[in-house]
Structure 1
Amino acid sequence: MKNEYIPKLSKIKEVIKHTDLEYTFRMEYDGEVKPGQFFELSIPKYGEAPISVSGIGDGLVDFTIRRVGTVTNEVFENYVGDKLFIRGPYGNGFELENYKGKELVIIGGGTGVSPMRGVIQYFSAHPEEAVSTTLIAGFKSPEDVLFKKDFEEWKKTLYVIQTVDTAPEGYEGSVGMVTKYIPDLRFKNPENAVFICVGPPVMIKFTIMEIKKLGIKDEQIWTSYERKMCCGIGKCGHCRMNEKYVCLDGPVFNYTEARELID
């Protein structure tokens, strides 16, 4: 029998620094993977951590990692040419077919942009496959912005609002929570609009409240509980919410299901 807990070695091909705490590790990986899925990254003696996929390439997969604990601290000591153990992918991910031909709005808060990056990259490269694509991304400050080079590319084909909660005097970009920009959204056909929203729980709560004020139905909204995972295969029970195991039934949920989950 296959042991689901056994990881494989993966070489670090590139390391991209975003901030002092957030780096993207581009790793070798051959296999099918969807935006929104996650892997377990591990280092012997230090443990493992669930990390969402933040990019998908030919023989490559990206993990954008925040340095917040024992495992991630040790991961940050590994650089190009080094190897990490990975197992996965796990979870259901974002199904691109749900958003093709739609008026798509993607709303992310902080590191919540990471699991949606694959979706953003796809529709930035194939803008004709959606009626329109709007990206609203919020960060704490200009110093906390992730994927700065990506945003410059995304602005060429998508309508992008990149905002920060607070900024120094003289800052020329948008300032304010992501919820500030939702009431101004307009659609050719509201029934053909779809939303993806990922970020901290309080951000998701108030963002969806604003989305619903536009007359958007629950079935038109998707979110992710990617921060809830632990073992990845439904054995430890850490991610259980009501009768759902986030690592098996999610982490991506349509809001018709997500609204019933008690976090």
Structure 2
Amino acid sequence: MAEPSWQETLRVRLVERNAREGSYAPIIEQYRRLAQQTKLLKERNASLLNAMGSSRPNPSSSTVFVPGTSEDNPVRAAYIASLESQISSLRDELATVYKTQGQNAQRLLAMNETLREKEELSRVDAEGLRKSRDEIALLRKKVDQHSELMAEKDRTAQILHDEISTLQLELSQIEDRNQTLTKDNAKLLQRWLDAKQAEANRMNEANQFYEDMQSRKQAIQDTNGSESGNGDLLNEGGTTMMTDGMPSQTGTDLNLTPNG
């Protein structure tokens, strides 16, 4: 979740202030050391001046300072005191330096540990980045293969579409031929039915004619049986000549079939 703008502004200003103040810290430390050394030098000079003032011979006094006696030289004592004070200050400063050095060593160890952790994190990130790049390369390869496969499928689909169009055209032509053949078959069937109907009509007519001939034959036979003295003549072809001059067929000439 993003921080509010005023908090971010305050943080940035604090960081800038710390950076600005931290940039003058070495200079301030040098000035502090110089001031401390100046103070020590002033104290030493004051001690030396006091010792010089106390070492001057007093005309009213009978006591005269003799070098090499058992009494301490005031100048030397003041100088020694100044040196001891300076040594003490230097020892304090050295202790401070040692303490700072120890803190710096601790900070260095902490920074080394932090650096090691950062390097480990960097190594892990680098390994993750390498794996991510490998995955990206693999995915790109799969994408390329998929694109090639899709292109091949598109080409196959286009070929199938062309074949389907061709088959649809052939199917349309076949349907047209089937419709034409259906119409032709219907016509042929109608013609066949008409022919069969005509043939049946002819058969019926032939049967009717046959029946009529049989009836006439029977009538003629009956007439011949009743009128045997009319002098009918039977010619060689089986034709009976009636007295009134009308020919009639008998025997084999009247052997008609239903087919005519």
**TM-score, normalised relative to structure 1:** 0.13
Tell me which protein shows more helix as a share of its residues: 2
Structure with more of its chain in strand, by fraction: 1
Whose radius of gyration is greater, 1 or 2?
A: 2
Relative contact order (alpha carbons < 8 A, sep ≥ 6): 1 or 2 greater? Answer: 1
